Amino acid sequence: MRFIGKPVARALIPLVSAVFIFAPMVMLWGEKSGVVAWLHALVPPSWDHRLNIWAFASDRILEHPMRGWGIDASRAFGSAIPLHTHNAPLQIWLELGAFGAAMAAAFYAWILYGVVRWTGVDRRDGAMAAGALTSYLVVSGLSFGVWQEWWLALGALAVIACGVAQKTSASTR
């Protein structure tokens, strides 16, 4: 059981990268296959609205797939996207295009390589960092806008807290 932490942390790298790279394709597939229509009948109104936003954003991504619409452009679509997409990968694709999505995937892969290193030194530190990152990504994938200052600050605070905890546990080993 002691050695399972590092493989799990390594497995997060392609998983997280794939989410950022393939998010619009998954949503477009969901629309064409009928999965999104099926979900509309099952989910509460707030999730139904998210599905509409994600479908609209995915369609707009197809119009400018490489360059996107520009930073904070999700606010320019009126009632179709109120404020932001409620999905970080789709918002990055919509606003920054494929290049932005690739940079986001590379950024999170870089962070996860750090988590793998921490896991090799102390499994608890790696688990803490992986849990913090996973929580941040899940919530940003379902709720908040990418550029909200308080959300970016929360991510920075999580990184700082993990660093402090790692230094503290290193000094007690």
Question: Residue ranges of the domains in the chain?
Answer: 5-172
Query: Can you give the pLDDT at residue 3?
Result: 60
For residues 65 and 171, give the distance between their C-alpha atoms in angstroms, rounded to a whole number: 48
Q: What are phi and psi of 43, to 5 degrees?
A: -95, 155
Max Cα-Cα span within the chain: 55
pLDDT winner (highest mean) among 1-10, 121-130, 146-155, 162-171: 146-155
88-121 vs 5-33: helix crossing angle, rounded to 10: 170
Task: Output the six-digit token pair for 125.
Answer: 């530190």
35-42 vs 5-33: helix crossing angle, rounded to 10: 100
Query: Can you give the pLDDT at residue 35?
Result: 97
Q: What is the four-CA torsion angle of 17, 20, 25, 28, rounded to 10 degrees? A: 140
Query: Can you give the pLDDT at residue 1?
Result: 35
For residues 1 and 94, give the distance between their C-alpha atoms in angstroms, rounded to a whole number: 42
Q: What is the tens place of the pLDDT at every residue in 15-43?
A: 999 999 999 999 999 999 999 999 999 99
Q: Which of 83, 67, 65 is nearest to 75 (CA)?
A: 83
Which residues does 70 contact at the CB level (< 8 Å), separation at least 6?
95
**Whether pLDDT at 157 is above 90:** yes
Residue predicted with more confidence, 173 or 48: 48
- Please compute, for residue 40, the number of CA atoms within 13 A of its CA located in the half-sphere on the CB side: 12
Query: Can you give the pLDDT at residue 173?
Result: 64
Which residues does 134 contact at the CB level (< 8 Å), separation at least 6?
12
Q: Mean per-residue pLDDT for 135-157?
A: 94
167 pLDDT band, cuts 50/70/90, is confident
For residues 101 and 145, give the distance between their C-alpha atoms in angstroms, rounded to a whole number: 15
